[in-house]
Amino acid sequence: MSITKYQIFLKTAACGSFSKAAEAMNFTQSGISHAINSLEAELGVTLLSRNRGGVVLTADGRALLPQVEKLCAAHHSMMQTVESLKGMDSGLVKVATFSSVSFQWLPRILKSFGQLYPNIEFEVVTGDFYDQIENWIVSGAVDCGFFRLPSTKHLQTYSLYRDELQVVVPCDHPLAQADPFPVEELAAEPFILLEEGEDYEIMAAFDKMGIRPQVKYTAREDRTILAMVSEGLGISLLPRLMAKHSPLPVQICRAPMQFDRPIGIGVKDEKALSKSTKLFVNYVRTWVAENGDE
């Protein structure tokens, strides 16, 4: 049995197309298609339905997906153990993260870590919500992940940074220099809301202030919100880690009340970590302590 076929199936199902899966896995599109066809022939079922828009899981594919995820996670865990037994600083570390960490910290962390441990490889996946990231860690889909503390899944966690929510406004906003931003204006201005799922972080801040925002737009990515604010479409409330390094011109103001977002990195079981994952987690803790505010 070739585990690669199952890994290709998972990646193709997640990406929704052969071309995107090929790009993500550094395969040719024909290679991806051949692997899926071979797996379907081997199992005797059709896993993916092809159409002009890409591919979607069939009923059989949906039924087998959880078992394939467990199979690939078990294989990954076994290979990590093998690398640890060899006593080598090598292996593959799967890391889950969210947008502000992946944009501000992770590229610099991976670059400097890679200079120390060039034989350790990484697979980085970005989650939309903290709960999703924790679920990936619990299921074994990833080895470690960044998310807001405390953990809701009783994971082993390490505190990294306290990120503060701040008001983000256009540079030419009449209250761009307000410190803090007036609570009554925060309730009155057109507001661009970050979609949070069940994370309930930004709306919880509004609850504490006793106001409701005038939501005009909702967006899933904070970078999209920064672009919208810079165009004068409204104001927003975002974590400082993302807002202070905005690639677009915006002004950040202190919120009417202080709201902190504790960021940490978590693992399922510290005792069961591979050597490469343990090296990475320890390195992240040191790096953030020294560079998190830069």
Structural domains for the chain: 1-69 (1.10.10.10), 163-259 (3.40.190.10)
Of 47-61, 68-82, 105-119, 212-226, where does mean pLDDT reach its minimum? 68-82
Does position 292 have pLDDT exceeding 80, yes or no? yes
Q: What is the pLDDT of residue 87?
A: 58
Q: Is the dihedral of CA 149, 269, 280, 8 positive or negative?
A: negative
The pLDDT value recorded for residue 274 is 87
Q: What is the pLDDT of residue 288?
A: 97
Q: How far apart are CA 171 and CA 191, in angstroms?
A: 16
Is pLDDT of 198 > 60?
Answer: yes
Neighbours of 94 (CB within 10 A): 21
Amino acid at 99: S
Count CA atoms within 13 Å of residue 162 on its CB side: 3
Per-residue pLDDT, averaged over 214-226, amounts to 94
- For residue 278, the SS3 value is helix
pLDDT confidence band for 91 (50 / 70 / 90): confident
State pTM to two decimals: 0.72
Q: Which residues share a beta bridge with 194?
A: 219
* Per-residue pLDDT reduced to its tens digit, 186-196: 999 999 999 98
DSSP label at residue 173: -
Whether the predicted pLDDT of 124 surpasses 80: yes
* pLDDT given at position 140: 92
